[in-house]
Structure formats: structure tokens, C-alpha cells
Amino acid sequence: MTALTLSNVCKSFGKVDVLKNIDLTVEENEFVVFVGPSGCGKSTLLRVIAGLEDATSGTVEIDGQQVNDVPPAKRGIAMVFQSYALYPHLTVRGNMVLGLKQAGHPKDEIERRIAEASRMLSLEPYLDRRPAELSGGQRQRVAIGRAIVRNPKLFLFDEPLSNLDAALRLNTRVEIANLHRQLDASMIYVTHDQTEAMTLADKIVVLRDGRVEQIGSPMELYNDPANRFVAEFIGSPAMNFVPADMIGGNTGTFIGIRPEYAQLGQTGQLNGTVIHVEKLGADTNAMINIGTDKPFTVRAFGQHDVLPGAEVGISFDQAKVLSFGEDGKRL
């Protein structure tokens, strides 16, 4: 059974086409991440799935039923917003209860679900507080709790971690991953952070300018990107692109080398000057000017003493090199 099927979904605001012919299936219990730069349409796509925006054309099916004309509350979904969007005048309990009351669930059922959700998210001590009295992380947990109690077939997360600080982001990321393992539901998660995408997803959808660039598991995208955009977007530090004729390839085409597949040495396939070194403890990133627009990044594991200004050679395994045509497509 598929949790969600999008076929040929388009969305335009006036003359601006925000989504162009999106086709996508989400299987049951799958964790799908939409990733892409700002303005690529990922949040709009999520809103179309939620029913907060109407698709201009195409069909949206949730759990096997076409829902184009079904209001958000009846789609069997729950959504967690970037800004938490808690009701400021209601307590934590009130925030979680509201949707269930509207749907007309019996009282003991509501109580049971609230108890369950607040246990999962350790929200019990805060049930009678208002959102203004909670920290950012707690508010985000309440927002997730409000989604859980609805017992949805499909969770929608709209950049839920971008308002949290770095340490809390890591914790909450783990919590969301745990939640996905415990709950019997599919999740769609929107982010512009490729680390979140790589760590959480079963399947990543890379979007650019309202189009799907590639769909695949994190490792598929990492090892086998369909084009230069995906190759550059996935992986950090980003992949290096070098005109192929610098190492004896066809003029106009490019080769891509991940920073972690290249090594520094006295000599190598490429030569250049070190312009900057970042020491992170576990690894060392060296940026080397090889005469292209962008410096070439080499990621060496462990701690290395490389000084800016040094002349170095870069060597890499030919088998790890990806080739891209003039149009950016993989060759």
C-alpha cells in the first residue's frame, strides 16, 4: 500500500510556475526527505500534500484515495511547522487536545492519546504550561506531540529544526528518527540541510526550481548522482568540479571528485597552492587553488600540518571520478 502518490502535480501562483510535473510515491512507513535550496518549491509541495494549497493540476492520493478536494483536517495527516505554530492562548494539553476535540473523539480516547504522546516526548511536567513559558526545544516537542496525537497516516515536517540551536538540533534529529521507528506511519520531511536529509531519510527527493532532480536513497545520491546539481548539493564539503581537459579528458566536460577521495602529496594529477586550511580535529580540509574559479577542497582524515602557501599535488583514484557533460548531466 502506498501512503502517498503524486502524479503530474503542478502549482503556479499567477504566471510563476512553482512546481512543475512532480511525480512521487511514498511507501508505507517510509521516511522521505525533500531537500533543495531556498525557493525550490519544497515547502509549497508539502503544502499541496497537506491541502493548504490547491494543486493547479495533477492528482494527490493519500492512502489510495484521491484527496484533491478533501480539506486538510480530513486527509489523515499531521504537520509540524518551522515556527512551531502553537496556539499561544492554550496550554500544552489544550494545544494537543484541540484537533481531537474538533474531530469528535471520545474523552477517554483523547486522554489516552495525550498520555501516550506526552510520555514519548517527556512532556508530562509541562502539560499545564502555556507555549510562552517553554523553551524552543520544548515548544518543538509540543508541536510534534500535537501531530502524534492525531494518529496520522502521514506526518509532514516543514523544516522543524531550523529554529533550534546546533546541540538541540542534533538531539531532536535523533528523537525524530526514534519516533519514526516507534510509530507506524510515513513521514515527509522538508529541509535545506543536507546533513538532516542524509541522516534521516530512507529516500531523498532533490528539488530545484520546482522540478525533481533525482529521487533515491542517501547513498545512491552520494555515490551515483544523476547530474552536477545533485552531486554538488549532497555531501559536505561539496564535490570538486574540474574541467576534464586539465587531466586529459574531453574539452567542455567536467569531472567531479569528492574531497574525501583526494589526497595531498608532493605530486599528483593536479597541482596548486594551498590557500586555506580548516582543522576540525577528526579531519582537515585544505582548499587549494588549482587555477579554476573555485578552490579544490581536499578532506584528509586525522590531523595534518598543511600551511597556506605551500605548493602541493593532488592525487585521486580514477575509479572514484564522476564525469559530467557540458549540460551538467552524468556521462
Partner 1 sequence: MNKARRNPFNIAAMHGALILYTLIALFPVFVIVINSFKSRKAIFREPLALPDADTFSMIGYQTVMKQGDFFLYFQNSMIVTVASLFFILLFGAMAAFALSEYRFKGNTLMGLYLALGIMIPIRIGTVAILDMMVATGLVNSLMALILVYTAQGLPLAVFILSEFMRQVSDDLKNAGRIDGLSEYTIFFRLVLPLVRPAMATVAVFNMIPIWNDLWFPLILAPAEETKTLTLGSQVFIGQFVTDWNAVLSALSMAILPVMVLYVIFSRQLIRGITSGAVK
State the residues that interact with partner 1 by CB under 8 A: 47, 50-52, 71-74, 77-79, 81-89, 98-99, 102-103, 132, 146, 150, 158
Task: Output 73 or 177, the one with its CB closest to partner 1.
Answer: 73
> Shortest gap between Cβ of 51 and partner 1 (angstroms)?
8
Measured from the CB atom, is 98 or 215 closer to partner 1?
Answer: 98
Q: Using the minimum distance from each CB to partner 1, give the nearer residue, 94 or 328.
A: 94
Minimum separation from the CB atom of position 130 to partner 1 (A): 11
> Of 157 and 316, which CB lies nearer to partner 1 in the complex structure?
157
Backbone angles phi, psi at 137, to 5 degrees: -65, -40
Q: Nearest distance from residue 240's CB to partner 1, in Å?
A: 39
Nearer to partner 1, 9 or 50 (CB): 50
Q: Is the Cα torsion angle 61, 65, 70, 74 positive or negative in sign?
A: negative
Cell of 294: 573555485
**In the complex with partner 1, which residue's Cβ is closer, 87 or 125?**
87
Closest CB to partner 1 among residues 49, 198: 49
CB of residue 82 to partner 1, shortest distance in Å: 7
- Distance in Å, CB of 44 to partner 1, minimum: 12
**What does the H/E/C string look like for the chain?**
CEEEEEEEEEEEECCEEEEEEEEEEEECCCEEEEECCCCCCHHHHHHHHHCCCCCCEEEEEECCEECCCCCHHHCCEEEECCCCCCCCCCCHHHHHHHHHHHHCCCHHHHHHHHHHHHHHCCCHHHCCCCHHHCCHHHHHHHHHHHHHCCCCCEEEEECCCCCCCHHHHHHHHHHHHHHHHHCCCEEEEEECCHHHHHHHCCEEEEEECCEEEEEECHHHHHHCCCEHHHHHHCCCCCCEEEEHHHHCCCCCCEEEECHHHEEEECCCCEEEEEEEEEECCCEEEEEEECCCCCCEEEEEECCCCCCCCCEEEEEECHHHCEEECCCCEEC
For residue 146, report the phi and psi dihedrals to the nearest 5 degrees.
Answer: -60, -30
CB of 60 to partner 1, least distance (A): 15
Q: Using CB atoms within 10 Å of the CB of residue 95, give its burial: 0 to 12 exposed, 13 to 18 middle, 19+ buried.
A: buried
Our CB check for partner 1 shows the closer of 102 and 266 to be 102
**CB 52 → partner 1: shortest distance, Å?**
5
Q: How far is the CB of 200 from partner 1 (least distance, A)?
A: 21
